[in-house]
Structure 1
Amino acid sequence: MSEANRPLAAALWMIGSITAFTAMAVAGREVSSVHDTFEIMTWRSLIGFVIVLAVATVTSRLHEVKTNRLHRHLLRNLTHFTGQNLWFWALTMIPLGQVFALEFTSPIWVILLAPIFLGEKLTRPKLIAAAFGFAGILAVARPDFSTFDPGIAAAALAALCFATTNIATKSLTRHESIISIMFWLTGMQLVMGLAMAGYDGDIALPTAQSLPWLVLIGLCGLTAHFCLTSALSLAPASVIVPVDFIRLPVAFSLGWFLYGEGLDLGLILGAGLILIGITLNLRASGAAANRALLQQPMPPKAMTRRN
């Protein structure tokens, strides 16, 4: 079945990705007083690499790991590693909801860049979804850019890195299995994490308090990317990535509940705008998929035997 025929299935995978990324954000904030961002990425990648290697071995799928597109994997993982470190650092600098709000310029970048790098069509529903999503972000976050804030800059740059990562992931799903993508994701970023965390010869080992959170980060990071890659293999990036906007009201709710961060009418209004944009985009994609299916030539009817 072609990717355009399964937007709703892809949306369900994205919900799994949203859940995992949100849990990872909470865990990342909890260990930030013990480990720096490079150390967090190192332990996360180590846990993920061990799991991927074990699953690939047990299921006899290690042969799916390919080496003929290493340059694409390297570009994807270098960009993601940069964005992820900026994201973890921003979590310690600005409120949780604001980090997510700025991060969610990423789907807008995907919608706008996918036609250039992936050849996807920039349709009216996609533009409407981007407009609603952006309006929702402004309503919820109401960012003040009159003064330079390092945390805001880090979150904004992370969003651009994540958009590039999603486009690169979509390109790789056309040629490689999820096992191969996840193997190089965790393996390459483990090397990058070790290099950056150990440049000063001092890597903080997990403590009794931080180890459960680091394990959660590793499991959630792996789960999030598995769900994201699965979603991108089932539908166009510019259709599926806007579903990730749901993570914004979730983040504000968690920030309010766990850390006493603000929760007001702007959140409700912004969440409503975001959900409207997502719904319109998914409905348009589903309708387009059905039209494409109906336009396919019918197979010739089998010859019936004459009595």
Structure 2
Amino acid sequence: MPAIGLHPVTRAAIWMSGALLSLAAMAVATRELSAYLSIFQILFFRSACGVLVISAILWRSGWRQIITPDPVSHLIRNIGHFGAQYAWIYGIIFIPMAEVFAIEFTAPVWTIFLAALILKEKITWPRGISVLTGLTGVYLIVQPGSAMVHPASLAVLVGAMAFALAYTMTKKLSRTDTALCILFYMSVIQLPLGAVTAALDWRPIDPACWPLILVVGIVGLTAHYCMAKAMQVADATIVVPMDFLRLPLIAVIGTVFYAETVKPSLFIGAALILGGNLFSIVMERRRIKAAEA
């Protein structure tokens, strides 16, 4: 755990390093497991690990916090999140991992739309610019005019929209429920979803798969935890650029271990998405400060 005496930016960097390594490990372990297991089996085992770990934490911190006044929102959140994870893994298997991560950066863009629809938040002009730059970035990454667009690219794009739904519902649930409560229902609801769908295409489990299954189950939780801790100790304008570093990291991993090639337009598109997100964050904070003055 980062030392309390460290500067907040340093502490955020340490937590984000944990998040980046967790996400990279998740991508590699998922790619390796896909040679042996179906996508639904991977999702099932991830949720099973999550249930065990979170239940152990709740056993010590108290089970009363899983009482929720809004079970329907949990259900909607996790159906969306389950579909998003399926699309993410599908992309990891069939297209360069860097492209998957780049398209995933569009989730905040879609969250703006869904927050306006579900939470009645206004789409201010900074958010509008974020949307425009984000859509431009998507165009550069996916290149819809090309005859070589892989279906997995479109699936990951739809998955990013589903992640946005999950983020929006998380924001709604965070008003009444603890983070552990949200993570608990994430695992508990997605466990039967994974079990039923995995049963339709169950494959024998090679003993060599178990270490990778444990990696997927554990780093799926540590990535969420480290990201949340980074957001607690530093401003989003610091954390978001750090999160962007997972793109070159996974590009290097994809190139070295899987001989993947990445187009320069992918980094340009991702940079546009990042710039739009940061611009929206900075301008919204200035607007709030001006209103409080």
The two structures share one fold, judged by TM-score above 0.5: yes
- How far did residue 167 of structure 1 move? 0.9
Q: Deviations over 1:12-64 (max 9, x none)?
A: 77776555333312211111101111110111111111110111112x22210
Task: Tell me the distance in 2 between the aligned counterparts of 1:141 and 1:250.
Answer: 20
- What letter corresponds to residue 64 of structure 1 in structure 2? Q
Alignment of 1:7-18 (within 5 A): 17=19
Check whether the contact 1:31–1:213 (CA below 8 A) recurs between aligned residues.
yes
1:187 aligns with 2:195: no
- What letter corresponds to residue 106 of structure 1 in structure 2? A
Q: Deviations over 1:156-206 (max 9, x none)?
A: 221221111111111111110111111111111111111111235x4533x
Q: Which residue of 2 aligns with 1:29?
A: 31
Q: Which residue of 2 aligns with 1:254?
A: 253
Aligned-pair RMSD on alpha carbons? 3.5
Determine helix, strand or coil for the equivalent of 1:92: helix
1:121 aligns with 2:122: yes
1:91 aligns with 2:87: no
Q: Which residue of 2 aligns with 1:41?
A: 43
Task: Tell me the distance in 2 between the aligned counterparts of 1:137 and 1:250.
Answer: 20
Task: Tell me the distance in 2 between the aligned counterparts of 1:23 and 1:112.
Answer: 31
Q: Which residue of 1 aligns with 2:22?
A: 20
Q: Deviations over 1:49-95 (max 9, x none)?
A: 1110111112x222100143222211111121122112212221222
Check whether the contact 2:104–2:160 (CA below 8 A) recurs between aligned residues.
yes
Check whether the contact 2:83–2:159 (CA below 8 A) recurs between aligned residues.
yes
> Residues 279 and 167 from structure 1, CA distance in 2 versus in 1: closer, same or farther, beyond 3 angstroms?
closer
Determine helix, strand or coil for the equivalent of 1:33: coil
Task: Tell me the distance in 1 between the aligned counterparts of 2:288 and 2:43.
Answer: 39
- How far did residue 289 of structure 1 move? 4.0
Q: Which shows bigger deviation, 167-176 or 134-143?
A: 134-143
Determine helix, strand or coil for the equivalent of 2:94: coil
Give the TM-score taking structure 1 as reference length: 0.77
Q: Deviations over 1:87-128 (max 9, x none)?
A: 212221222222233333322111222122122232222222
Check whether the contact 1:61–1:179 (CA below 8 A) recurs between aligned residues.
no
Check whether the contact 1:129–1:278 (CA below 8 A) recurs between aligned residues.
yes
Check whether the contact 2:142–2:153 (CA below 8 A) recurs between aligned residues.
no
Larger radius of gyration, structure 1 or 2?
1
Q: Which shows bigger deviation, 268-277 or 41-50?
A: 268-277
Q: Deviations over 1:212-268 (max 9, x none)?
A: 221111112112334566789999x9xx98986654444434322332222454345
Task: Tell me the distance in 2 between the aligned counterparts of 1:225 and 1:134.
Answer: 26
Structure 2, unaligned stretches of length 5 or more?
A: 1-8
Q: Could you tell me the percent identity over the aligned residues?
A: 34
Aligned residue-pair number: 282
